[in-house]
Amino acid sequence: MATCSAPGKIYLFGEHAVVHGEPAVACAVELRTRVTVLPAKSTSVISNGKPLGFGGGPYIENTLKIMEKFLVLPPLSIRIDSEIPIAAGIGSSAALTVALLRALSIEFGVKMDLSMIAATAHRVERVVQGAASPTDTFVSTMGGVVVVPERRHLSPLGCKIVIGEAERGVGEKTREMVSRVAELRETYPDVVDPIFNAIGRLTRNGVRLIEDDDCKGIGRLMNINDGLLEALGVGTTMLSRLVHAARDAGAFGAKITGAGGGGCIVALTDDPQEVARGIEDAGGRAIVVEIAREGVREE
Ligand code: PMV
């Protein structure tokens, strides 16, 4: 039997613009998906106490298919316990895939180093989603605060992170939001390219501020980033409400995280309880999280 866990992630800066060649900063957060695998008489998948039919869904099916290139797998009992909100832009599918791959490689003695786990998990996400940036799977595998595309680690922030969940179901929307932004760019390249460019610039400035642990400065740039995401058309009424509630409660800054169109916001603060209260009063679900310094690990 092997049990592994992998963390979810938020974007501090740069989502959407990263698809168009600009840098982004993502951060692994201490919300984990734990996966236990053990050989059994027949294959079954139990997720947060409930049995999953259809081979456990596309991420599990495709992960098993890829592992079958290395060995013949016996029937398996797979147990998933996840703290990550599903399909909310916090990287639940990446964490599941990464933790499952690691657990399988340990259980069956397949040598896979962390870069291979990240690359293989990215392949699974591409098969399932059609297109996926390597960010989620890389950050979930390696942990910490990471600038992409360089995949360089930055020092962890001193302040606290509060996630505000507005609506679920955004996971299925990532593709739609990415293509909506691409369509906007095709229609108005002279308007939209400077927005991507500004996001790239604020991300580069943000990297310097993260290195200086200047949470006030990082928060100001997150606010600008949120305005630019709004300009790209990925905001919703509820996301805006939560962003403003977090700022009104004293956050250094708050923004949409991930694809938008629903999902979550992220806020930086020294007073997480106050910001969480503000988010909850505005109708969201607040989750106070630590940065996950460690990525995938055996439990
Ligand atoms: O909502 P998420 O966590 O899937 O993030 C999407 C981030 C985008 O930049 C919009 C797309 C991508 O693949 O980088």
Helix (H), strand (E), coil (C) string for the chain: CEEEEEEEEEEEECCCHHHHCCCEEEEEEEEEEEEEEEECCCCEEEECCEEECHHHCHHHHHHHHHHCCCCCCCCEEEEEEECCCCCCCCCHHHHHHHHHHHHHHHHCCCCCCHHHHHHHHHHHHHHHHCCCCCHHHHHHHHCCEEEECCCEEECCCCCEEEEEEEECCHHHHHHHHHHHHHHHHHHCHHHHHHHHHHHHHHHHHHHHHHHCCCHHHHHHHHHHHHHHHHHCCCCCHHHHHHHHHHHHCCCCEEEEECCCCCEEEEEEECCHHHHHHHHHHCCCEEEEECECCCCCEEC
Distance from residue 75's CA to the centre of ligand 1 (Å):
34
Contacts of 75 (CB under 8 A, 6+ apart): 39, 40, 41, 42, 43
Number of C-beta neighbours around residue 118 at 10 A: 25
CA-to-CA dists, residue 193 to 22, 53, 71, 183, 205, angstroms: 11, 44, 47, 12, 18
Single out the residue of 189, 192, 223 nearest to residue 206, CA to CA: 223
Determine the Cα–Cα distance for residues 260 and 239; give it in Å rounded to an integer: 8
CB-based burial, 90-102: b 16+ in 10 Å, e otherwise = bbbbbbbbbbbbb
Determine the Cα–Cα distance for residues 79 and 3; give it in Å rounded to an integer: 9
- Ligand 1 neighbour 29 (Cβ under 6 A): no
pLDDT of residue 132: 76
Substitution site in 97, 129, 136 for ligand 1 pocket (most atoms within 8 Å of beta carbon): 136
- Ligand 1 neighbour 120 (Cβ under 6 A): no
Substitution site in 140, 178, 226, 255 for ligand 1 pocket (most atoms within 8 Å of beta carbon): 178
pLDDT of residue 113: 96
Q: How confident is the model at residue 46 (pLDDT cuts 50, 70, 90)?
A: very high
Determine the Cα–Cα distance for residues 60 and 164; give it in Å rounded to an integer: 28
pLDDT of residue 194: 98
pLDDT of residue 9: 97
Residue 297 amino acid letter: R
Q: Quickly tell me which residue has 């209260």 as its tokens.
A: 277
pLDDT of residue 175: 82
Does residue 56 have a pLDDT over 90? no
Q: How confident is the model at residue 88 (pLDDT cuts 50, 70, 90)?
A: confident
Does residue 47 have a pLDDT over 70? yes
Q: Above pLDDT 70, what percent of the chain?
A: 98
Active site residue 136: yes
**CATH numeric code, 158-289:** 3.30.70.890
Identify the bridge partners of residue 35 per DSSP, sorted by sequence position: 4, 80
Q: Which part of the chain is CATH 3.30.230.10?
A: 2-153
Give the mean model confidence (pLDDT) for residues 114-138.
91
Question: What top-level class would CATH report for the domain 2-153?
Answer: alpha beta
Q: Which part of the chain is CATH 3.30.70.890?
A: 158-289
Where is average pLDDT lowest: 40-44, 165-169, 173-177?
165-169
Cβ(147)–Cβ(25) below 8 Å: yes
Record the pTM.
0.93
Single out the residue of 38, 40, 37, 16 nearest to residue 26, CA to CA: 16
